[in-house]
Amino acid sequence: MPSRRDQSTGSLFAGSAPAAPLAARMRPRTLNEFVGQESVLAPGKPLREAIERGTVGSLILWGPPGSGKTTLGFLVAQTTDREFVPFPAVTEGVPRVREIIGEAARRLEMGKGTILFVDEIHRFNRAQQDAFLPAVESGTVTLIGATTENPSFELNGALLSRARVVVLEPLSPDHIMVVLKRALTDAERGLGAQNLSADDEALRWLAVEADGDARRALNVLEAAAEHAGPGSALTAELLRDAMQRRVARYDKSGEEHYNLISAYHKALRGSDPQGALYWLARMIDGGEDPMYIARRTIRFASEDVGLADPQALRVALAARDAYKMLGSPEGELALAEAAVYLATAPKSNRVYAAWGAALEAAREYPAESVPLHIRNAPTSLMKQLGYGKGYQYAHDVPDAYLPQKYLPDALEGSTFYEPGTFGFERDIAKRMAWWSELRERARGTDSSPGKGPTADQEKSE
């Protein structure tokens, strides 16, 4: 007797059922009908050949909504003559997984394999994912997991090692045009019997606005057709009314979160205010926390602009404070102002590199003694021991610079910070060069360790 899940399998892909949504009715029935994903499914590709030979193993299908993950899972089952058992990770749990595996074991004894299709597999935590491992390892089921999230973030290593990750790309507008035209002309499963028409310009608009999601495009086409009625012309205006507002594809905790902040940073670093503003707007429009963006902007000011423009950090901090005071949407302009300022500022990561080098030195030499002449001497005993002896007060000379030693012996001569050649760091470089010259002069007059020239010596030179 078929299980309750087996009984529902057919309904998921009952393309001829008139009550099913257009997107469900128009699902491809064969690999040749599948649109897009040529990089993995074109004739001659390894995955295509494995499916056609019936030797395909467990897969993780990673791609955006509407790219064909569920359809591909079903076509694998159909082409390889295995039972297709869908499993929604959103609503089902480990007990149901155990039931399906038991059913699959009995089915295998009768000579038929099982495709366990787990939609949104990332909704299972890493411990729950372990429930699939024994059955996958033994071959009781072939697992096909579908996810919109980066598998390397969401799936445990044991599961990833037993499955091939297949990356599905968003469908191109040309691909979606093919899908829309099929739906308009197919009288059996699509809208062909309604005698609708739509020019290429209107369909192209919808194909672009769908953002690579065939399901979204078909849903809009169906809504427009229902509104217009049989025999109507589906214009771009009618399709636009049916679509309403495009929703940004953005997940504040998923891969897109990291992709967009990375794009924002790289546009700032590349001195491209146009790109910086676009990615900032994408994040804000997608619902990202503005304070997260502000924190990353402040970090960028220190790491990538640095002392080439000391005002950059102030601008970034001011943008954060302005947003905290004003909120949205007024405060967003302050973040945009900071983005443009940082993108167009001179760039230097010399302080960032210097800090890394200093930390490395501190870890390599964690116990070096502070030279006596720069130690504090708050007690008479410490003074008797030589603390602070020989220290020269820089403000005793007009130029406020007296060469003396500030690093421990093991690090003497080390250089952590070297100024760049842009912006304010050019002035810093001149100043440091002048100090270097003064140190060289001091070595010629007194080479004793830890002791620089006296004020009188500086004046006489």
Domains and their CATH numbers in the chain: 4-167 (3.40.50.300), 173-243 (1.10.8.60), 255-344 (1.20.272.10), 374-460 (1.10.3710)
The pTM score is 0.57
- The answer to whether 308 and 353 are in contact (CB under 8 A) is no
What region, left, alpha or beta, does residue 34 occupy, with left being phi > 0 and alpha being psi -120 to 50 degrees?
Answer: beta
Burial of 426: CB neighbours in 10 Å, binned 0-12, 13-18, 19+: middle
What are the structure tokens assigned to 79, written together?
A: 């082409």
Q: What is the pLDDT of residue 461?
A: 31
Q: What is the pLDDT of residue 248?
A: 53
| Element of type H or E holding 165 | strand 164-167
> In this predicted model, what pLDDT tens digit does every residue of 203-214 receive, in sequence order?
999 998 888 888
Q: What is the pLDDT of residue 304?
A: 94
Query: At residue 61, what are phi and psi to the nearest 5 degrees?
Result: -95, 115
State the Cα angle at 411 between 406 and 414, rounded to 5°: 85
What are the structure tokens assigned to 258, written together?
A: 């990291």
- How big is the chain by its Cα radius of gyration, in Å? 33
Which among 450, 441, 380 has a CA at the least distance from the CA of 412? 450
Q: What is the pLDDT of residue 6?
A: 42
State the Cα angle at 173 between 246 and 192, rounded to 5°: 90
What are the structure tokens assigned to 301, written together?
A: 């000011």
DSSP 298-359: HHHIIIIIGGGSTHHHHHHHHHHHHHHHH-TTTTHHHHHHHHHHHHHS----HHHHHHHHHH
Which among 76, 164, 82, 63 has a CA at the least distance from the CA of 122? 63
Residues of the chain with pLDDT under 50: 1-11, 14-16, 247, 447-461
> In this predicted model, what pLDDT tens digit does every residue of 394-440 receive, in sequence order?
888 888 888 888 889 899 889 899 998 889 989 998 988 888 888 88
Q: What is the pLDDT of residue 456?
A: 37
